């Protein structure tokens, strides 16, 4: 019997969904459930019509969600205290032996699997992001864990522009983007210049298209003038990256930077302590990941501990969760803000 492409896709998705069930249950019934699902698909495809498929999909999803929950609860109920201790021990062993795969996945690992499935689904729309540097200090702090809306500035493609809440990047927006020097890292900065803008700085003050700006969102920690930093653009210096030098050579004319098409000029709000477009050049529009939506957790920890989840950091969080969490920043929304034009 040949199956239609649609039913094969359904079966493949269902196979993935089975991984969300507890391991015991999956091992006992997974194969049969897959067969049953395939038979159902065939049954539905014998009575074709998009409506039938839709109903079948909704029914299957509801069945999956409700029983998933029930089986998870049942799996937890069966666990006694000594089981918990044993499983915790197993998990620690599992974590230690990651990569060697000598231990079967434990209880928490199962949950992690469920989470991964959900995260996989959600990362296309939103992404969790932790702020690693203080360059946006006063607006976002080191250790702010934020959700990033990946749809807002996404490339709309041919049809997406009409379906998605897409908007272009404006001046004053806070954006997350791939750091051009190392695309694995994600930075957060404020957009100062969009394509066509003429930009230069005088004594820490931005002059955009001939108009001086008052930027209420900035923080100035150093009143001493560093010409390169505060009277941008000057001649490239030792800490200007090759990309930065390229920008100076190509886009700076008559003491002003002219933002070329498809690029953005970004700076941190912590102006005197921010490695930004002044040093490493412009951000290609395609590198923009999204806009921060809100801070879901703000934790006061040094940068290097936030980058990966080390054991030290886990211990630190476990012991200082209540004291080091900046509760007043929870659910804070970093806002786009317009600069005022000074006469």
Partner 1 sequence: MGKPSKPEDLLPLTPPVFHILVALSGEERHGYGIMQDVARQTNDALQLGPGTLYGCLKRMLAAGMVEESEERPDPALDDERRRYYRMTALGRRVARAEAQRLADAVDAAKARRLFDRPKAGLTGGA
Which residues contact partner 1 (rule: CB under 8 A)? 21, 25, 28-29, 31-37, 39-40, 59-60, 62-64, 66-68, 70-71
Distance CA 25, CA 29 (A): 6
- Closest to partner 1 by CB, 35 vs 79, is 35
Rg (CA), the chain: 26
Distance CA 153, CA 188 (A): 14
The runs of H, that is alpha helices, within the chain are 5-18, 23-46, 50-77, 81-96, 107-122, 160-163, 227-230, 242-251, 277-280, 303-307, 311-324
- Closest to partner 1 by CB, 33 vs 136, is 33
Distance CA 165, CA 152 (A): 6
Bridging pattern class, strands 186-193 and 252-253: unpaired
- Closest to partner 1 by CB, 44 vs 148, is 44
- Closest to partner 1 by CB, 72 vs 245, is 72
The count of residues in the chain is: 343
Distance CA 299, CA 245 (A): 36
- Closest to partner 1 by CB, 46 vs 162, is 46
- Closest to partner 1 by CB, 2 vs 203, is 2
Distance CA 23, CA 107 (A): 9
Distance CA 177, CA 129 (A): 11
Neighbours of 177 (CB within 10 A): 24
Read off the tokens for 45.
């495809």
Q: How far is the CB of 21 from partner 1 (least distance, A)?
A: 8
Q: How far is the CB of 168 from partner 1 (least distance, A)?
A: 44
Q: How far is the CB of 33 from partner 1 (least distance, A)?
A: 4
Distance CA 233, CA 249 (A): 11
Q: How far is the CB of 16 from partner 1 (least distance, A)?
A: 14
Read off the tokens for 142.
């080191």
Q: How far is the CB of 83 from partner 1 (least distance, A)?
A: 15
- Closest to partner 1 by CB, 40 vs 212, is 40
Q: How far is the CB of 5 from partner 1 (least distance, A)?
A: 21
- Closest to partner 1 by CB, 53 vs 153, is 53
Distance CA 88, CA 36 (A): 35
Nearest 5°: the CA angle 126, 129, 131 is: 150
Q: How far is the CB of 87 from partner 1 (least distance, A)?
A: 20
Q: How far is the CB of 51 from partner 1 (least distance, A)?
A: 15
């Amino acid at each position: 019997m040949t199956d239609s492409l649609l039913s094969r896709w359904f079966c493949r998705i269902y196979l993935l969904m089975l991984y969300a069930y507890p391991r015991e249950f999956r091992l006992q019934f997974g194969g049969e459930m897959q067969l049953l699902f395939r038979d159902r698909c065939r049954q539905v495809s014998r009575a074709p019509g998009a409506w039938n498929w839709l109903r079948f999909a909704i029914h299957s999803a509801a069945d999956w969600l409700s029983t998933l929950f029930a089986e998870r609860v049942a799996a937890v109920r069966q666990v006694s205290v000594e089981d918990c201790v044993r499983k915790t021990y197993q998990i620690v062993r599992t974590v230690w032996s990651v990569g060697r795969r000598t231990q079967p996945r434990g209880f928490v690992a199962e949950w992690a699997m469920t989470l991964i499935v959900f995260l996989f689904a959600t990362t296309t729309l939103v992404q969790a992001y932790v702020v690693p540097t203080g360059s946006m200090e006063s607006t976002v702090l080191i250790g702010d864990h934020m959700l990033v809306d990946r749809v807002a500035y996404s490339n709309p493609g041919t049809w997406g522009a009409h379906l998605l809440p897409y908007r272009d990047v404006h001046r004053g927006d806070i954006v997350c983007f791939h750091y051009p020097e190392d695309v694995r890292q994600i930075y957060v900065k404020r957009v100062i210049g969009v394509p066509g803008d003429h930009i230069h700085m005088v004594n820490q003050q931005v002059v955009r298209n001939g108009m001086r700006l008052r930027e209420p969102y900035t923080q100035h920690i150093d009143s001493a003038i560093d010409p390169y930093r505060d009277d941008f653009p000057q001649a490239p210096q030792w800490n200007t990256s090759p990309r930065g030098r390229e920008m100076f050579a190509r886009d700076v004319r008559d003491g002003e930077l002219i933002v070329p098409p498809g690029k953005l000029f970004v700076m941190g709000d912590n102006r005197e302590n921010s490695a930004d477009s002044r040093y490493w050049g412009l951000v290609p529009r395609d590198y923009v990941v999204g806009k921060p939506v809100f801070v879901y957790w703000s934790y006061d920890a040094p940068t290097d501990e936030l980058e990966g989840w080390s054991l030290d950091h886990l211990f630190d969080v476990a012991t200082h969760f209540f004291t080091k969490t900046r509760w007043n920043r929870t659910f804070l929304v970093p806002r786009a803000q317009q600069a005022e034009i000074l006469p």
